[in-house]
A and B are shown apart, each in its own frame.
Chain A
Amino acid sequence: MKSEKPAKLKEIYSSDEQNIILDSIADGVFTVGKDWHITSFNRAAEEITKVSRKEAVGQLCKDVLKADVCESNCCLRATMKTGKPIVNKKVHIIDAEGRKIPISISTALLRDSKGKLLGAVETFRDISVEEDLRKAIHAKYSFTDIISKNHRILQLFDILPDIATSGSTVLIEGESGTGKELFARAIHNLSPRKKQPFVAVNCSALPDTLLESELFGYKAGAFTDARKDKPGRFRLAENGTLFLDEIGEITPSMQVKLLRVLQEKTYEPLGATESLKHNVRIITATNKNLDELVRDGSFREDLYYRINVFKISLPPLRERMEDIPLLIDHFITRFNTLQKKNIQGVSEEAMSVLMSYNYPGNIRELANIIERAFILCKGGLIEKKNLPENIFILKPDHDENEVVSLRDAEAGYLLKALKQNNWDRLKTARQLGMHKSTLYRKIKSFGIKLPS
């Protein structure tokens, strides 16, 4: 017995020391025995997988890591089989909260001092930031980059593949900051044209003459300083997709030219004598109501029908409030990795404020609010004091001079109270001094949709 105790203590100390060393490593590290069961799991591994050490140790590594290669091309298995290490292989895992995370993994064999095989070790690091940057550079966005559980967006997800494969012209309507370009890129990346270029043009950024040469290009000598041919965006997008943003801003003369290009599938570069055929899919977007522009005569009806083969209307953020916590979580994760911070989330009070604001700038504005809070918040939770003052002012949803019915006023008041209380019905009922069942009845009778 005497000799066993110090040996056991030594084992414990050595195991603790090992954990301390492993926990000091920034990369996720775990070891497995020859039976694929995890024998150690460090702190970084806990953070990346969202599985605690207590829950991970003793489990099969595939059940903990949940990587896309676990069943088809397991790296540890390959290393155990060949004895060769694997270095920096990119795979995706799904963490315990359902997030898909790109990681870079390396594997090696574990042997004791006598060279006897003990198992293997895997180190991995979260490469979300690199992936985000790569996506931003190559703009390879898919619909999985659109974060939403809103029923209208989910319905769009359902029809997106059919729209993408159809090749038809698509019109995307939505307020500024609702993600029109993200949807356009997702359609392109789901379409058979995905390997061809996606070219985006902001029509409101350029005056008419420049827009024409930008879209159709010009021939050498077309105007002073046109020394050589310049291909236009149509040429650059050949066989791919051309995204015309702010289509509602183009002038009547440009509308005529664009109509011809869409009808005849040909265009003429400035100074050219012959028309060129094109094979370009057009996706347009606007933050205006084109129906109204057509009615008041500032947008050609024939062009409208030509671009409006399929219309997607993106809801503003204030109509998809249930997405706000998801989006906040997404932005916090992104800024934590980008700025090497460890903000845990948003306090309950701050969340109430964020849920009661109506976001005229939509998702872009929410991202800016969180980015600003990151400057002021040093750690822990984002508090009310870290939020900009302007979002504390509750803007009326309607003109104050406008007379509304008592029922509408009551419904509006109820909605505002629910938003302020982060959709917590019990809290709202308490605040309004009514019984919870009365509140439920009113919610039902006013047809207020609560975020699930």
Chain B
Amino acid sequence: MKVALSVFKDSISTVFDVSQQLLVLEINGAGEQKRTMVKLETIDPIRRASQLSEEGINVLICGAISMPMQASVSARNILVYPFVRGKVEDVISAYRYGKLGQAVYALPGCRRRGYGGSRGRNRGAHHRWRG
């Protein structure tokens, strides 16, 4: 499974629609296997979603994301954790232990739209990180 975090320096990038880098974690039953940085090539929602799909991303953890962008990413069967903030390592740890729903990881005023906020076909789905 591949989990992508949209990052800026050592934090989650504030706005996914214009963010430029992804930190991709490859995870299997034994835990985290590999980390790679991926440059996002375009800000066009369809092409951006298409790039995520080509990279084989299963889960996207990101900051603010516009509705069309989220719809486009979700349409590729990618589970989106939107409106997340925090230091990258803290967010990875929170995801690992199922604590992304805590207020400290939600952008101000966005808690309702935060945790597991991917609307549509992925609603309710949750990829567990074991190991």
Contacts and interface: CB of A to CB of B under 8 A. Distances in A.
B46 A70 contact: no
A56 B15 contact: no
B44 interface: yes
Contact of A63 (B14, B50, B71, B113): B14
A190 interface: yes
Contacts of A151: 75, 120-121
Interface stretch (A6-14, A90-98, A213-221): A90-98
Contacts of A94: 15, 17, 64-66
A56 B108 contact: yes
Contacts of A50: 109
A452 interface: yes
Nearest to B45: A144
Contact of B66 (A62, A63, A144): A144
A149 B121 CA distance: 10
B107 interface: yes
A154 B17 contact: no
Interface in B99-113: 107-110, 113
Given A66-B14, A148-B71, A143 B113 contact: no
B119 A452 contact: yes
Given A71-B13, A452-B123, A190 B44 contact: yes
A68 interface: yes
A51 B46 CA distance: 28
Contacts of A71: 8, 13-15, 18-19
Interface stretch (A156-164, A356-364, A381-389): A156-164
Interface residues of A, number: 37
Contacts of B67: 98-100, 147
Contacts of B85: 63
Contacts of A68: 15, 17-18
Contacts of B75: 151, 154-155, 157-158
B62 to A, nearest CB: 11
A154 B71 contact: yes
B109 A51 contact: yes
Contact of B44 (A52, A63, A161): A161
B68 interface: yes
A405 interface: no
A452 B121 contact: yes
Interface string A132-161: 000000000001101111010011011011
Given A144-B66, A158-B76, A452-B119, A52 B45 contact: no
A67 B18 CA distance: 9
B66 A149 contact: no
B46 A100 contact: no
B58 interface: no
Interface string B86-117: 00000000000000000000011110010000
A143 B15 contact: no
A55 interface: yes
Contact of A161 (B46, B113, B121, B123): B46
Given A71-B15, A71-B18, A151-B120, 5 more contacts: A50-B109, A64-B109, A66-B64, A98-B65, A157-B46
Interface of B: 8, 13-15, 17-19, 44-47, 49-50, 63-72, 74-76, 82-83, 85, 107-110, 113, 119-121, 123
21 contacts: A56-B108, A56-B109, A62-B14, A63-B85, A64-B109, A66-B63, A68-B15, A71-B13, A94-B64, A96-B83, A100-B66, A144-B45, A144-B66, A144-B68, A144-B69, A149-B71, A149-B119, A157-B72, A160-B46, A161-B50, A452-B119
